Amino acid sequence: MQKFTPDPKRWAALALLCAAQFIVILDTSIIGVALPAIQADLGFSASGLSWIFNAYVIAFGGLLLLGGRLSDLFGARRIFTTGFVILTAASLLAGLATSQEILLAGRALQGIGAALIAPSALTIVMRLFGHNGAELGKAFGFWGAAAAAGGSAGVFLGGVITEWMAWEWTFLINVPLGLIVLAAIPAVLRKSERARGKVDWFGAITVTGALVSLVYAIVTIETAGLGSPLILSLLGISLALFVIFLIAQRVRREPLLPLGIFKAPNLAAGNLVMALLGAAWIPLWFFLNLYLQQILGLSALASGLALLPMTVLIMIVMVGFSGKLIGRFGPKTNLILGLLLMGASLILFANLPLDGSFVINVLPASLLAALGMALAYIPATMSGMAGAKPEETGLASGLINTTYQIGSAIGLAVMVVISTAGFGHGSAGPAEMLQGFQAAFQGAGVVAAVAALATLLLIRGGAVQREVPVG
């Protein structure tokens, strides 16, 4: 057997890949604080505002499987580079937007770029460090920390930019960051091997259409009504496209998603839990942003600073403690504990008062939520990639990213409908808005509890650790 030689530049490459992860998460978190300013400037409705997030994650989640497949066929480095070119150009478009349509188009293009970046970057991480379990664990710690750092920088920079500059710069900041990454790629990333095969464009189109139809139907329930012909038509289209996609994947010789991958231990269950994790976490983050500004009256900068302790704690726990805790107690125990802590925090958020105090009412619950997310995210990722064959690593990474993003989009869409059910299109005062926020927090808490139960019943303890590649 030929001896494997590690890439001598693998740690420099990891730094660049973590920078990419940082930017992808930054794109999600930086807009949160700026949402009220964007709403006031471009006239978004309450439900329309969620599409600033959904336009990104639907394109991101809907195309991640395709991004993983393209990474395998054309080389991870090439797709990684292409993704950053698209992301940088899309950020420029969103930053220069003067209408809702242009902004949402820019956000969707950002999602397309991220859909190429995320699976190719994770594939490169696995190929660089999969030879050594200890190095892989350390690399995953930095990977998770980069995501938390992106969240920290996002909420802080979002506040600074919105307060002292303009919301447009929450998008334009990606332009110099993207150019720096593109300049560094040739120096630290080796060219990746290309696999033989074809791209399943039909599968990519049908699954993306199904996901877009589903989320759009959920968001539109608020205005059209659950039993309206529009909603029923959208749900019917979504179901039909999902069925067509699954049939096509079964009969095609080179499918976008080989269904046999779900036979791997824990992979299907891990992806389900990851979707539920996103469906609980993103509404928590979204509505907490709105509570701080629209109920407590904090400025954009103060709101960003208020959310900073959450993401700093996530980063500290992921880097300093997650690996040790997973090694000591196993991923399943950490995942259940993290989800229960997140559920407890959502119960606290569901009881936020109209005249609340940040120190008393928000800070303790937000730190509890951060601890829960820090304990849950890496074990959920490991579970979702468990048992995948080496040649399916790109597909597994695309799949776990897909389930998280789509779970986030659907979870947020459902909670927006729940939060606005009481006042619809009418003008809502602070008391009515708070009641809607509380209902959304309660709904997200139920999702966290379901995720914990699914972990307990479906994920096999210890299996993840045995199947981490060690050479």
Instruction: Identify which of 149, 142, 153 has the alpha carbon closest to the alpha carbon of residue 378.
Output: 142
Distances in Å between the Cα of 288 and the Cα atoms of 32, 254, 291 are 9, 44, 5
Rounded CA-CA distance 190/113 in Å is 20
Query: Do residues 269 and 459 touch, judged by C-beta distance below 8 A?
Result: yes
What pLDDT was estimated at residue 427? 59
Identify the weakest region by mean pLDDT among 201-205, 221-225, 467-471: 467-471
Residue 219 has pLDDT above 70, yes or no: no
What pLDDT was estimated at residue 133? 61
- Report helix angle 133-164 to 363-385, nearest 10: 140
Question: pLDDT grade, residue 194 (50/70/90)?
Answer: low
Instruction: Identify which of 76, 90, 70, 85 has the alpha carbon closest to the alpha carbon of residue 27.
Output: 90
Does the pTM surpass 0.85? The reply is no
Query: Which DSSP category does 390 fall into?
Result: G
Distances in Å between the Cα of 70 and the Cα atoms of 119, 182, 298, 394, 468 are 10, 19, 44, 9, 24
Q: In this structure, which amino acid lies at residue 297?
A: G
CA angle 387–66–380, rounded 5-degree value = 35
Q: What is the dihedral of CA 411, 414, 419, 420, to 10 degrees?
A: 140
The pLDDT tens digits of the residues spanning 315-366 come to 788 877 877 788 788 889 999 999 999 999 999 999 999 888 889 999 999 9
What pLDDT was estimated at residue 241? 95
Mean pLDDT along residues 152-158: 72
Residue 388 has pLDDT above 80, yes or no: no
**In the chain, what percentage of residues exceed pLDDT 90?**
25
The pLDDT tens digits of the residues spanning 368-379 come to 999 999 899 888
Instruction: Identify which of 283, 292, 269, 312 has the alpha carbon closest to the alpha carbon of residue 411.
Output: 283
Question: pLDDT grade, residue 176 (50/70/90)?
Answer: very high
Of residues 417 and 246, the one with the higher pLDDT is: 246
Instruction: Identify which of 49, 163, 42 has the alpha carbon closest to the alpha carbon of residue 433.
Output: 49
Rounded CA-CA distance 440/443 in Å is 5
Q: What's the chain's average pLDDT?
A: 82
Residue 420 has pLDDT above 50, yes or no: yes
Phi-psi region of 462 (alpha: psi -120 to 50; beta: other; left: phi over 0): left
Query: Which DSSP category does 111 fall into?
Result: H
Query: Which DSSP category does 199 fall into?
Result: -
What pLDDT was estimated at residue 338? 95
Residue 465 has pLDDT above 60, yes or no: no
Residue 264 has pLDDT above 80, yes or no: no
Q: Per-domain residue ranges for the chain?
A: 10-189+256-466, 200-255
φ, ψ at 200 (rounded to 5°): -85, 80
Mean pLDDT along residues 205-217: 81
Identify the weakest region by mean pLDDT among 142-146, 195-199, 202-206, 259-263: 195-199
Max distance between CA atoms of the chain, in angstroms, equals 70
Identify the weakest region by mean pLDDT among 109-113, 211-215, 459-463: 459-463
Rounded CA-CA distance 306/112 in Å is 31
- Cβ-based neighbours of 112, under 8 Å, separated by 6 or more: 59, 60, 63, 86, 90
Residue 292 has pLDDT above 50, yes or no: yes
What pLDDT was estimated at residue 130? 64
Query: Do residues 58 and 215 touch, judged by C-beta distance below 8 A?
Result: yes
Question: pLDDT grade, residue 466 (50/70/90)?
Answer: very low
Mean pLDDT along residues 266-273: 87
Query: Do residues 407 and 276 touch, judged by C-beta distance below 8 A?
Result: yes
Question: What does the block give as tokens for 62?
Answer: 């809907």
Question: How many other CB atoms are found less than 10 A from the CB of residue 365?
Answer: 23
Fold of 10-189+256-466: Growth Hormone; Chain: A; (1.20.1250)
Distances in Å between the Cα of 437 and the Cα atoms of 225, 242, 363, 434, 465 are 20, 32, 17, 5, 39
- Report helix angle 267-290 to 331-349, nearest 10: 30
What pLDDT was estimated at residue 2? 45
Rounded CA-CA distance 141/149 in Å is 12
Residue 391 has pLDDT above 70, yes or no: no
Rounded CA-CA distance 30/33 in Å is 7
What pLDDT was estimated at residue 88? 94
| Cα dihedral 436, 438, 440, 442 sign | negative
Mean pLDDT along residues 39-53: 77
Rounded CA-CA distance 51/230 in Å is 18
- Burial of residue 202 (number of CB atoms within 10 Å: 0-12, 13-18, 19+): middle
What pLDDT was estimated at residue 149? 72
- Report helix angle 76-95 to 10-42, nearest 10: 20
What pLDDT was estimated at residue 471? 28
**In the chain, what percentage of residues exceed pLDDT 70?**
87
- What DSSP string describes 145-175? HHHHHHHHHHHHHHHHHHHHS-TTHHHHTHH
